[in-house]
Structure 1
Amino acid sequence: MTVAAPHIADNQNAYCPRCDTQLYRGHRHTCSGDVALAIVGLLLFIPVIFFPFLSIRLFGEHIDATLLEGVVLLVDEGFTFVALLVLFCSFLVPITLCICVVAANIALKFKLYSLMRWSMFGVYHLKHWMMIDVYIVSIAICCFKLTDYSDLIFGLSLPVLGVLQLVCLALVIRVSPRKYWQSFDQTLRITRPNLPKIQIDAISDHLQDCPQCHLVQQVGKRCIRCHHPIAFNESRSLQATWAFLIVATIALIPANVIPISILFANGARLEDTIYSGVISLVNNDMLVIAIIIFVASILVPVAKILGILYLLLCIHFKRSVFHKQRMVLFYIVKWIGKWSMVDLFVMSIMLTLVDRGQILNFTPGYGAVAFGVVVIFTMLATDALNPKLIWKNHNDTHSTQSNSTGDTFS
């Protein structure tokens, strides 16, 4: 079922009449406000790169921790995959998001189609991978862990990280590819009035909505405006989701069995798996941190795998009830996916502060690689699963008759 609502006022929102998902968000945000936020975000990365967010005094030595230093040390320790994962989620994604917003506004001003296409592609695909908030939580966990070993000094870039998270969150909320493409179309029609203009207010099986720019058009392989793939391949979506899920499930075993961190304290080698690390935190009266690590590193990955498995089985057995509940489950699984990165961020920060060849020394274990695989492939599984499959066996007769005029507005 395709529902088209091309005309939405700035104070209106559009919702799907079947699952109540918000399809379009009406707002009065200006593009100039978006580019101002993006430029502020890019400027905030300067102190984040060059100034420490946390420093400690360990055995008389002053040690600083910056965002990129942990990545470099992970590479030096031989954990290149984990290093690239930390770099991508904590640094490359937010800075690329800001660059894409600036590029989109440049494309609007100078009518650059290719630049608009790739900038909106970046905004659409990267916003779910931005994890500055997870990184900030990881810093807090490291502070609790290191309190008993050293004196903590909060650096200049720590509050900057907090402001940067607010700026990036505002960009994610404000920037709408649909709005940018509509503005781009309006500027192009001034110089190219012969461009095709689609105005459809109907529900039809022969129409399809582009998931990226939300242009309603005839069913085809790619969007006629942004060239994003819109052809729905059911078997390909299911095969990719099953493949990612199987890899994540297999990797979950070594991730919980092989040590994820190794701590040398007073000449003793302490190897911790995820579970033993949680028990150690409980024994050291760090109950809150233990609960956070348990939820993020043990409960969330298992819940994601079971949730995706449940959705796939319901699709396979053609369940015809509780579609809305399964849709809510899908969005929950997609949202909680990034919080499993807490353990990997904690390792990169601990490696920066503690791995100094002193009496107290920290290094990651190979369980971190397997855990990184679990995090990545569960997130890829949710991205590969097309939510249209959840509604495949839903009877749309009643909803089609009661909503034949278009979307619902508020």
Structure 2
Amino acid sequence: MCSSKQASHRQHSHYSNSELRVCQGCGMTVGAPIIEDNQNAYCPRCDTQLYRGHRHTCSGDVALSVVGLLLFIPVIMFPFLSIRLFGEYIDATLLDGVVLLIDEGFTFVGLLVLFCGFLVPITLCVCVVTANIALKRHHFSLMRWSMFGVYHLKHWMMIDVYIVSIAICCFKLTDYSDLIFGLSLPVLGVLQLVCLALVIRVSPRKYWQTFDEHLCTVRPNVPKSILSELKDCPQCHLVQTASSHCVRCHQPITFNESRSLQATWAFLIVATIALIPANVIPISILFANGARLEDTIFSGVISLVNNDMLVIAIIIFVASIVVPVAKILGIFYLLLCIHFKRTVYHKQRMMLFYIVKWIGKWSMVDLFVMSIMLTLVDRGQILNFTPGYGAVAFGIVVIFTMLAADALNPKLIWKNHSDTPSTHSKSTGDTFS
């Protein structure tokens, strides 16, 4: 048995894995030895959240996931919106627009709507359920792939965007037909709340810590002398010495600076090129009373303004024109600052990076509106709606700007910061909710 003096020295010269965080934003190694369950911890340099404190139980996550999966049944089977057009009732369900987009030859747009509006939220719910099964059965592979799904799918879940798209369609169709709200519309609202709660609650770090506890796995303490050489896994957040793969979840953790920059530039160039046809080629074609009305994104906004739909026009203008351009310019600015090794305003650029990542999904509003409109009015009657090829280009813009933001490692923003990595701690007592 070691003496109390020796024990004190060992405790002072080592950090346990649970006491260390390597900031996902700037790469600083941060010591947080005392953090309560109801506290959040933030990086003292870039303000990125390091630790999200909560008292949520895994059983609560399972309950929410099961409720979410059950809610998908009425969402698929029952219409969320119906219109009465020329004496005929036409229903719209979540998957009808996807099927019609594919039938019209717009397979890429249809699969994109299917992925973001349906597959991602249902897969997220399944991953949470399977993660808890993995905890019960101590199944490593199942835990690994479940947390892989949770980590990568959160950013792509867009039920909230879909609900906003339904509201826009209601305003646009008010002048043409009578609207009837279906059974699955309130269910969609509840499903959005359930999915939002899952995104907030489920922490891969917490799940992996629980998995270690179930297996009685003890991670070795980290000496203070090698703090500058530490890396953390971006998925399970285990702090460890430099290696190519995480020792816990086996995910690659090697950071390749040139590969990150090359991928970001490639995605950004593709999105920039696609932005031109997306705004020049008609994105939608409406046949009304025998007249063919082709609309680009901008002409569609002008049409909404002329029809006294100013609020909807502003939403479409911001989501379909301002947001894509802002994303491209924002990422381009960040890349230039990294290339020219700017040494000031790192925190402001970090904030810009997070804003660019958050606003990315809202560009999907136009494509969701298109799928709903196609379901309700593409019936070969006097009023007929069909997508234009500009929708394909716009879908490419949406996807590749989001991929560009994901490919850019934010640690590159802080590469030329004057501070050297060291241990700091900062926490807040605010209860997480």
Asked if the contact 1:4–1:209 (Cα under 8 Å) also holds between the matched residues in 2, the reply is no
Separation in structure 2 between the aligned mates of residue 373 and residue 343 of structure 1, nearest angstrom:
13
Per-residue deviation at 1:230? 1.0
Separation in structure 1 between the aligned mates of residue 410 and residue 329 of structure 2, nearest angstrom:
17
- Is 1:18 aligned to residue 45 of structure 2? yes
Instruction: Report the counterpart of residue 318 of structure 1 in structure 2.
Output: 341
- The 1:292/1:201 distance shift into structure 2, 3 A limit, reads farther
TM-score after normalising by structure 1 = 0.96
- Is 1:94 aligned to residue 121 of structure 2? yes
- The 1:57/1:201 distance shift into structure 2, 3 A limit, reads farther
Asked if the contact 1:2–1:209 (Cα under 8 Å) also holds between the matched residues in 2, the reply is no
Separation in structure 1 between the aligned mates of residue 69 and residue 89 of structure 2, nearest angstrom:
29
Letter in 2 for 1:199: N
- How big is each residue's C-alpha offset from its partner over 1:55-97, in whole Å with a ceiling of 9 and x where there is no partner? 0000111000000010000000000000000000000000000
Letter in 1 for 2:426: T
Asked if the contact 2:32–2:426 (Cα under 8 Å) also holds between the matched residues in 1, the reply is no
Instruction: Report the counterpart of residue 27 of structure 1 in structure 2.
Output: 54
Asked if the contact 1:65–1:349 (Cα under 8 Å) also holds between the matched residues in 2, the reply is yes
The partner residue of 1:241 within 264, 269, 283 is 264
Instruction: Report the counterpart of residue 258 of structure 1 in structure 2.
Output: 281
The partner residue of 2:184 within 123, 133, 157 is 157
The partner residue of 1:394 within 417, 427, 433 is 417
Per-residue deviation at 1:8? 3.7
Instruction: Report the counterpart of residue 122 of structure 1 in structure 2.
Output: 149
Asked if the contact 2:274–2:393 (Cα under 8 Å) also holds between the matched residues in 1, the reply is yes
- How big is each residue's C-alpha offset from its partner over 1:120-177, in whole Å with a ceiling of 9 and x where there is no partner? 0000000000000000000000000000000000001000000000000000000000
- Is 1:62 aligned to residue 79 of structure 2? no
- Is 1:288 aligned to residue 308 of structure 2? no
Query: Which shows bigger deviation, 201-210 or 352-361?
Result: 201-210
5+ long unaligned stretches in structure 1? 190-194
Instruction: Report the counterpart of residue 362 of structure 2 in structure 1.
Output: 339
Separation in structure 1 between the aligned mates of residue 222 and residue 183 of structure 2, nearest angstrom:
53
Separation in structure 2 between the aligned mates of residue 314 and residue 30 of structure 1, nearest angstrom:
42
Separation in structure 1 between the aligned mates of residue 263 and residue 417 of structure 2, nearest angstrom:
23
- How big is each residue's C-alpha offset from its partner over 1:236-286, in whole Å with a ceiling of 9 and x where there is no partner? 000000000000000000000000000000001000000000000000110
Asked if the contact 1:181–1:213 (Cα under 8 Å) also holds between the matched residues in 2, the reply is yes
Per-residue deviation at 1:6? 7.1
Per-residue deviation at 1:200? 3.4
Instruction: Report the counterpart of residue 103 of structure 1 in structure 2.
Output: 130
The partner residue of 2:291 within 247, 258, 268 is 268
Separation in structure 1 between the aligned mates of residue 185 and residue 202 of structure 2, nearest angstrom:
26
Asked if the contact 1:74–1:348 (Cα under 8 Å) also holds between the matched residues in 2, the reply is yes
Per-residue deviation at 1:211? 1.1
Asked if the contact 1:260–1:368 (Cα under 8 Å) also holds between the matched residues in 2, the reply is yes
Instruction: Report the counterpart of residue 180 of structure 1 in structure 2.
Output: 207
- How big is each residue's C-alpha offset from its partner over 1:291-347, in whole Å with a ceiling of 9 and x where there is no partner? 000000000000000000000000000000000000000000000000000000000
TM-score after normalising by structure 2 = 0.91
Asked if the contact 1:6–1:199 (Cα under 8 Å) also holds between the matched residues in 2, the reply is no
Structure 2 counterparts to residues 200-211 of structure 1, below 5 A: 200=222, 202=224, 204-211=227-234
Asked if the contact 1:5–1:201 (Cα under 8 Å) also holds between the matched residues in 2, the reply is no
Letter in 1 for 2:393: A
SS in 1 for 2:245: coil
- How big is each residue's C-alpha offset from its partner over 1:11-36, in whole Å with a ceiling of 9 and x where there is no partner? 22221121111111011000000100
Asked if the contact 1:6–1:201 (Cα under 8 Å) also holds between the matched residues in 2, the reply is no
Per-residue deviation at 1:9? 2.6
SS in 1 for 2:50: strand
- How big is each residue's C-alpha offset from its partner over 1:194-238, in whole Å with a ceiling of 9 and x where there is no partner? x45133375722111111111000011111111122111000000
Asked if the contact 1:4–1:216 (Cα under 8 Å) also holds between the matched residues in 2, the reply is no
Separation in structure 1 between the aligned mates of residue 91 and residue 343 of structure 2, nearest angstrom:
57
Asked if the contact 1:4–1:200 (Cα under 8 Å) also holds between the matched residues in 2, the reply is no
Instruction: Report the counterpart of residue 192 of structure 1 in structure 2.
Output: none
Separation in structure 1 between the aligned mates of residue 76 and residue 297 of structure 2, nearest angstrom:
30
Name the Cα RMSD after superposition: 1.2
- The 1:32/1:201 distance shift into structure 2, 3 A limit, reads farther
Letter in 1 for 2:313: A
Separation in structure 1 between the aligned mates of residue 71 and residue 339 of structure 2, nearest angstrom:
47
Letter in 2 for 1:153: I
Separation in structure 1 between the aligned mates of residue 425 and residue 150 of structure 2, nearest angstrom:
25
Separation in structure 2 between the aligned mates of residue 201 and residue 340 of structure 1, nearest angstrom:
46
Instruction: Report the counterpart of residue 198 of structure 1 in structure 2.
Output: 220
The partner residue of 2:377 within 340, 347, 354 is 354
Separation in structure 1 between the aligned mates of residue 338 and residue 390 of structure 2, nearest angstrom:
33
- The 1:359/1:246 distance shift into structure 2, 3 A limit, reads same
Asked if the contact 2:212–2:218 (Cα under 8 Å) also holds between the matched residues in 1, the reply is no
Separation in structure 2 between the aligned mates of residue 212 and residue 339 of structure 1, nearest angstrom:
25
Separation in structure 1 between the aligned mates of residue 230 and residue 34 of structure 2, nearest angstrom:
17
Separation in structure 1 between the aligned mates of residue 403 and residue 34 of structure 2, nearest angstrom:
33
SS in 1 for 2:222: coil
Separation in structure 1 between the aligned mates of residue 186 and residue 47 of structure 2, nearest angstrom:
38
Letter in 2 for 1:265: A
Separation in structure 2 between the aligned mates of residue 188 and residue 62 of structure 1, nearest angstrom:
58
The partner residue of 2:407 within 371, 374, 384 is 384
Identity %: 86
Report the number of matched residues. 400
